[in-house]
Amino acid sequence: MRSEIIQVIGPYLTPVQSSYEQVITHPILQPMIEFHNKYVVTPLLKSDHFATLLSTPQSNFITMAFVYLMIGLAIYEVIFHTGVYFKLWMNPAHEVFLNLPVHCAHVYLSLNVIDELDFPEGKTKVESMDDLKDSAKFLKRPIVYHFEFSPDEYADPEFGTNLKFLRGKVLKWFLQSQVYYLNKPDFKDDIGIDDVLLFNKKGKLLDKEKEEEFLCNVEVQTGETVYAIIRV
């Protein structure tokens, strides 16, 4: 039976084999074939596992197809993510998976006070904590406190609380603190929310013009330290 099949398909195999040999011996393909043999086949043959996979024409074809598929995918991923990083094109998934900021659940507070006479409102423009480094602080060591925000304190369930709420919470806590109680005679009588200066962990002033902004949108993330200076 086998001999009969060979007799039937034999005349068709010879032209196919001849065409294949012509293709692989074509001068244009020689550099590609040399690259394939030197940098793909030779390293794979050093592994007993891959040497077995390359031992037969069928497994050789499947293995090489898989190898080049992986190489192609790796090149595609490198080019794709490089383009996204340098903003040459956008990630198609950005419309589905939006990069939303995570709401701020709790912060640490480092608080100090400054004499109003040393820093009168409107006389000096403050943009960072460095602008106050030469000013005399009332407390030798700042008060460190931990604020945790409950869901009922969120201005929005998804984005959390805003800067205005934090500023008011800091003022309320300070006016109820022992530091204020013991030093009240030395403080002015009308300490208000405008006297509370807040800075993020980088020392940058959290602008009062952004009071309605969520903390996550003014570079204040969960667990970070917020620095507060209160004019007294």
Contact 129, 203 (CB under 8 A): yes
Residues 195 and 156 in one domain: yes
44, 60, 95 - which closes a domain? 95
Quick one: pLDDT at residue 38? Answer: 81
Whether the per-residue pLDDT at 121 is higher than 60: the answer is: no
Residues 150 and 209 in one domain: yes
Q: What residues pair up with 211 in beta bridges, in sequence order? A: none
Percent of the chain with pLDDT over 70: 79
Residues 58 and 129 in one domain: no
Residues 48 and 111 in one domain: no
Residue 110 forms part of a structural domain: yes
Whether the per-residue pLDDT at 17 is higher than 50: the answer is: no
| Cα 80 off chain centre by | 18
Residue 179 forms part of a structural domain: yes
Whether the per-residue pLDDT at 173 is higher than 50: the answer is: yes
60, 95, 130 - which closes a domain? 95
pLDDT in tens, 175-210: 998 888 888 888 888 888 888 989 988 888 888 788
Using pLDDT thresholds of 50, 70 and 90, give the confidence band for residue 7: very low
Region 51-56: mean pLDDT is 78
Residues 123 and 87 in one domain: no
Whether the per-residue pLDDT at 124 is higher than 90: the answer is: no
Total count of domains within the chain: 2
Whether the per-residue pLDDT at 137 is higher than 80: the answer is: no
Residue 101 forms part of a structural domain: no
Closest CA to 177 of 117, 120, 230: 230
Quick one: pLDDT at residue 75? Answer: 94
Residue 75 forms part of a structural domain: yes
Residue 100 forms part of a structural domain: no
Residue 39 sits in which domain range?
2-95
95, 117, 140 - which closes a domain? 95
Residues 115 and 169 in one domain: yes
Q: How far is residue 39 from each of residues 31, 52, 212, measured CA to CA in Å?
A: 12, 18, 60
Region 58-81: mean pLDDT is 89
